[in-house]
Structure 1
């Protein structure tokens, strides 16, 4: 699958998580950072999309410790994201 198709598929998955809060957090993170991702970072995000929303959100806001598998620069960026523009 080519890069463009992978990112298009990931964008859909990031914005259709099941709750509005997860959509905004995960989808907003995707929109903010995905243009600069390399193949390894895309793979990391693809794998993260298989985790439960409540876990992803808890790791991102710091209410649960981040498992070693997800710790690193990408999760750090998700934890620092403090504003997501929302179209009205």
Structure 2
């Protein structure tokens, strides 16, 4: 497991809210190793966004989504619906 993966896993599980810890932590734990490097780069940028904004994007309460995050947010939502 490389340092970037470890760092992103930690950042996914230690957000500002328990809800994001669960949404992002479980997603990255189960699917992070499947992401291509370009997707990991987008995910890393995504994690730099404000927690309140991330939660609203993931729960679809703040449209429109930034185009660069649309596919990632869709994957996270699909992961939690299955």
TM-score category (smaller protein): 0.7 to 0.9
Alignment RMSD: 1.8
Q: Structure 2 vs 1, CA of residues 29 and 75 (structure 1 numbering), >3 Å: closer, same or farther?
A: same
More helix by share: 2
| Structure 1 length-normalised TM | 0.80
* Structure whose alpha-carbon radius of gyration is higher: 1
Q: Distance in 2 between matches of 1:69 and 1:59?
A: 12
The total of aligned residue pairs comes to 81
Q: Distance in 2 between matches of 1:80 and 1:55?
A: 19
- List structure 1 segments (4+ residues) > 4 angstroms apart after TM superposition: none
> Could you list the runs of 5+ residues in structure 1 that have no partner in the other structure?
84-88
